[in-house]
Chain A
Amino acid sequence: MARTLTFEIFRYNPAIPEQKPQMQCFTLAETANMTLFIALNRLREEQDPSLVFDFCCRAGICGSCGMVVNGRPRLACQTKTADLPERIILLPLPVFKLVGDLSVDTGVWFRDMYQKTRSWIHTKKAFDSDQEEERMDNAVAEQIYELERCVECGCCIAACGTARMRDDFLGAASLNRIARFALDPRDERTDQDYFEIIGNDYGIFGCMGLLACEDVCPKHLPLQNQLGFLRRKMGITALKQLFRKSSCAS
């Protein structure tokens, strides 16, 4: 039973540019129910205190522990070593800015994305704190919640071939944000408004349907269906405009 695991871990500290990026090997005896969270912490405590990686909730909620595990972007805290071979190769997520070793800065990227997609409820209604909150249909609320489950781990962006080739591509997490607001009855934005944000090759028409996002998302968000939904919605929005006279006339 008890295996000895070999970890090959990417080491690089961008603050010390003289140091070249390299892969470092560690060995560790596997224990029952070991996750990568446990393994990495033990490596840092017992073997190399300089090892850099991110963890926070260790329960798949905060999204900070995304890394490339044997080729696939995953949440390290949700990955059991028992499901992996004896040789485990850990790399930081590509696309994002490297902080050091396995740690990347997804925060700035997601913050920027929220600005680009204007990721908040747009409404002209004035807020009245004395009024009872408007009720939402339960089915709609559940649909929105399904898309809200994204933990911003960045796995879908790191896996996306389009995002790897073009750093101006929005990526699945961002498009999913738009799908989420398009569903929300409180958001008064029209299809035309959404079209201005994602109706181009930086947005939904840049997506080539490689579905790596769908296949790696650790929270199993329905990304494939949302991307299809947005492509149809935005494609139809453009066609409608084609058959409509200029809005300035009359």
Chain B
Amino acid sequence: MSIHATMHIVSPSRRDAYFDWLQMLTGLGLVIFMALHTALNLSIIFGAKSLDIVAGALEVLHLDTLAHVFVPILFLVHFVLAARKIPFRVDGQLAIWRDARLLNHRDTWLWIVQTISGMVILILGAIHMWTTITAGAVQAASSVARVQSSGWTMFYLLLIPLVQGHVFIGLYRIGVKWGVITDKMRPKVVKILVITFAGVLILALLALARYATLTI
């Protein structure tokens, strides 16, 4: 080998591989949390009492404390890792926008939706976590009062579709990136995910409607 070939070599590193694992695992961790969190919220559909029972059970298991500590950490780490992929310079943003416009390709559009929803969730989610964590134990009465106080219904009306959309696109993305979803399965999995997404979205909005209209 000639000498000049050894003059400038990027040192091999496993950093990008670990970051990619972590990006996937933090995303998956947040999805699991959101699934439980949505289930908790859905219990309000059956009335204030059922929410209090579910929330009380979580407290006995200390799952609420666990969430108060680990969810903000996951949230932050996931954001920092995912942000490596977001083009923050205008030329990059234009490149992906033009590519999506030109191709008119579903999965490329979905990535843009994921990125934008992610950035909005970063802000809204942080505000939401701050208010709920500082408010202490989850109780139907306090949540109903909060949702019915100024602006919070609109806040959740925006946050719910963004979060659920981000969750389902994220699951799909993990599946195709790591090869869990193969080319043969893709159309079927897309159908299943779309139907589940629609179902969960409707239920979550129903829960919000209950929060917004219950009188306690």
Chain A positions near chain B (C-beta within 8 angstroms): 68, 71-72, 91, 94, 159, 161, 164-166, 195-196, 199-201, 205-212, 214-216, 222, 224-225, 227-229, 231-232, 234-235, 237-239, 241-242
Contact assessment for B96 and A214 in the assembled complex, using a CB-CB cutoff below 8 Å: no
Q: Which residues of B contact A (CB under 8 A)?
A: 12-21, 84-85, 87, 92, 95-96, 98-100, 102-105, 107-108, 111, 173, 176-183, 186
Residues of chain B within 8 A (CB-CB) of A210 are 105, 107-108, 111
Q: Are B177 and A209 in contact (CB under 8 A)?
A: yes
Bound CA–CA A209/B15 (angstroms) = 19
Given A196-B12, A212-B103, A235-B21, does the pair A161, B183 have CB atoms closer than 8 Å?
no
Q: Is the CB of B104 within 8 A of A71?
A: yes
Q: How far is the CB of A87 from chain B (nearest CB, A)?
A: 15
A222 CB contacts on chain B under 8 angstroms: 183
Given A224-B183, A231-B177, 7 extra CB contacts under 8 A: A71-B103, A94-B99, A165-B87, A199-B16, A209-B107, A214-B183, A228-B181
Question: Are A239 and B21 in contact (CB-based, < 8 A)?
Answer: yes
In the assembled complex, the Cα of A238 lies from the Cα of B84 at a distance in Å of: 20
Contact B14 A241 (CB under 8 A): yes
B176, A228: Cβ atoms closer than 8 Å: yes
Do residues A242 and B103 form an inter-chain contact, with CB atoms below 8 A? no
A166 to B84, CA, bound (A): 12
* Contact residues in A for B19 (Cβ distance below 8 Å): 205
Which of A206, A207, A209 has the most CB atoms of chain B within a 10 A radius of its CB?
Answer: A209
- Within the complex, what minimum Cβ distance (angstroms) separates B97 from chain A? 10
A228 surroundings in chain B (CB, below 8 A) = 176-182
User: In the complex, are the beta carbons of A225 and B179 less than 8 A apart?
Assistant: yes
Give Cα distance in the complex from A239 to B18, angstroms. 8
Known contacts being A196-B12, A209-B173, A215-B105, is A165 close to B96, with CB within 8 Å? yes
Can you sample 7 A-B contacts with CB below 8 Å?
A165-B95, A166-B92, A209-B107, A210-B105, A210-B108, A228-B178, A242-B14
B182 near A238 (CB under 8 angstroms)?
A: no
CA distance A207 to B13 in the complex (A): 17
CB pair A205 B85 closer than 8 Å: no
Which of A94, A166, A200, A216 lies at the interface centre, i.e. has the most chain B CB atoms within 10 A of its CB?
A200
Sort A-B residue pairs by CB-CB distance and give the 8 closest, nearest first.
A228-B179, A238-B17, A209-B177, A205-B20, A200-B16, A238-B14, A205-B16, A164-B95
A199 touches B176 (CB 8 A): no
How many angstroms from the CA of A207 to the CA of B23 in the assembled complex?
13
* C-alpha spacing A196/B17, complex, angstroms: 11
- A161 touching B186 by the CB < 8 A rule? no
A212 touches B105 (CB 8 A): yes
Partner of B100, one of A161, A208, A224, A232: A161
Nearest Cβ distance between residue B115 and chain A, in whole angstroms? 10
Contact with A224, one of B18, B99, B182 (Cβ below 8 angstroms): B182
Q: What's the minimum C-beta distance from A232 to chain B, rounded to whole angstroms?
A: 6
Q: Which residues of B contact A242 (CB under 8 A)?
A: 14, 18
Which residues of the partner chain A approach B21 to less than 8 Å between Cβ atoms?
235, 238-239
Note all chain A residues with C-beta closer than 8 A to B13. Answer: 200
Residues of B within 8 A of A195 (CB): 12, 14, 17
Q: Do A234 and B108 touch (CB < 8 A)?
A: no
Partner of B179 from A165, A196, A229, A239 at Cβ < 8 Å: A229
